[in-house]
């Protein structure tokens, strides 16, 4: 059967009271029901937790070990469900690449100055939603169309696209580039969190070769060594400089939306709205 918090609370009450009778009175339940709950827990764990051979119950060695785990688990649950504790929880801001571009450092500095009681943790997560749908972050900076269900998005800006080419190449000698200029080269595609697909090109002029990567580091390396060219947004050169890579404006590709996203319909961090306001303020000052 499925274990529930009541099994842990029942076990801890028994260990603290010393008898099932007193523990049942404390929990406002009957002694037979509490005994069944204890047996269910022991059956689930496959060990005897309580020695019932004496009038005063004694914990077995396994029981003493499990008591510490049960107490820690309940304490963690109680903290997580206490709304008063949310204000002091870190606000985890995820991103798969480039964060807020050259506004990343100003964002973090302003937050530390204005909200020192709520740590803002910037986390790069190589995932389409930067860990948002997995619950590893509270809010995320995402680029491109956000299709994951259950998310709320706030558009911050639209970023121009740039071509990314190896330094020293013929393409690097150009001041600006077009999609057609890149079509004859292999295209590095970040298949996990990138915003570039072959659909950017017209069907009659699409590249015939791609190199698929799963994160920004692999993408940068593929371009730096001359195996491919790439397309990104104007935020990337501000955070990812490389001596073997050159960024050039891409004149005929549509811009990329940058949004803040967070989960809807579940308890959220109370500082998310404050972060959204600060990000909007910084973007408006560009």
**pLDDT tens sequence across 105-138:** 999 999 999 999 899 999 999 999 999 988 889 9
**CATH topology for the 88-158+257-285 domain:** D-Maltodextrin-Binding Protein; domain 2 (3.40.190)
**pLDDT tens sequence across 224-254:** 999 999 999 999 998 888 999 999 999 999 9
Mark out the alpha helices in 156-240 (DSSP H runs): 179-182, 216-224, 236-239
Partners of 256 in beta bridges: 159
Domain boundaries, the chain: 5-84, 88-158+257-285, 161-254
- Cβ(191)–Cβ(275) under 8 Å? no
On the question of pLDDT at 84 being above 90, the answer is: no
What is the second-level CATH architecture of the domain 5-84?
Orthogonal Bundle (1.10)
d(CA 52, CA 89): 42
- Cβ(50)–Cβ(58) under 8 Å? yes
On the question of pLDDT at 256 being above 70, the answer is: yes
**pLDDT tens sequence across 166-223:** 999 999 999 999 999 999 999 999 999 999 999 999 999 999 999 999 999 999 999 9
Per the prediction, the chain carries an average pLDDT of 91
**Closest by CA position to 105, among listed 209, 192, 235, 197:** 235
What is the second-level CATH architecture of the domain 161-254?
3-Layer(aba) Sandwich (3.40)
Partners of 124 in beta bridges: 95
How many percent of the chain have pLDDT more than 90?
A: 74
Neighbours of 143 (CB within 10 A): 22
Tokens 């499990």 belong to residue: 66
Same fold, 88-158+257-285 and 161-254: yes
Calculate mean pLDDT across residues 32-60: 88
């Amino acid at each position: 059967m499925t274990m529930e918090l009541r099994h842990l609370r029942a076990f801890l009450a028994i260990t603290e009271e010393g008898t099932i009778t007193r523990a049942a009175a404390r929990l406002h339940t009957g002694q037979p029901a509490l005994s069944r709950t204890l047996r269910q827990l022991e059956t689930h764990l496959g060990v005897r937790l309580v020695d019932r051979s004496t009038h005063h119950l004694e914990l077995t060695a396994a029981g003493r070990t499990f008591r510490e785990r049960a107490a820690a688990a309940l304490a963690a649950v109680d903290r997580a469900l206490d709304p008063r504790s949310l204000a002091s929880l870190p606000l985890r801001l995820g991103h798969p690449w480039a964060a807020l571009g050259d506004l990343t450092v100003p964002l973090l500095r302003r937050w530390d100055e204005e909200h020192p009681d709520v740590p803002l943790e910037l986390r790069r997560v190589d995932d389409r939603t930067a860990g948002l749908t997995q619950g590893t972050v509270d809010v995320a900076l995402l680029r491109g169309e956000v299709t994951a269900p259950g998310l709320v998005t706030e558009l911050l800006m639209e970023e121009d696209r740039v071509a990314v080419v190896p330094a020293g190449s013929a393409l690097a000698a150009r001041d600006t580039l077009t999609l057609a200029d890149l079509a004859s080269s292999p295209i590095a595609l970040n298949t996990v969190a990138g915003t570039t697909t072959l659909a950017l090109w017209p069907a009659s002029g699409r590249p015939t070769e791609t190199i698929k990567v799963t994160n920004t580091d692999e993408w940068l390396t593929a371009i730096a060594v001359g195996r491919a060219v790439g397309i990104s947004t104007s935020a990337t050169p501000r955070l990812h400089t490389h001596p073997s890579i050159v960024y050039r404006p891409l004149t005929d590709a549509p811009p990329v939306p940058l949004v803040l996203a967070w989960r809807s319909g579940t308890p959220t961090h109370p500082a998310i709205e404050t972060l959204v306001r600060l990000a909007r303020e910084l973007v408006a000052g560009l």
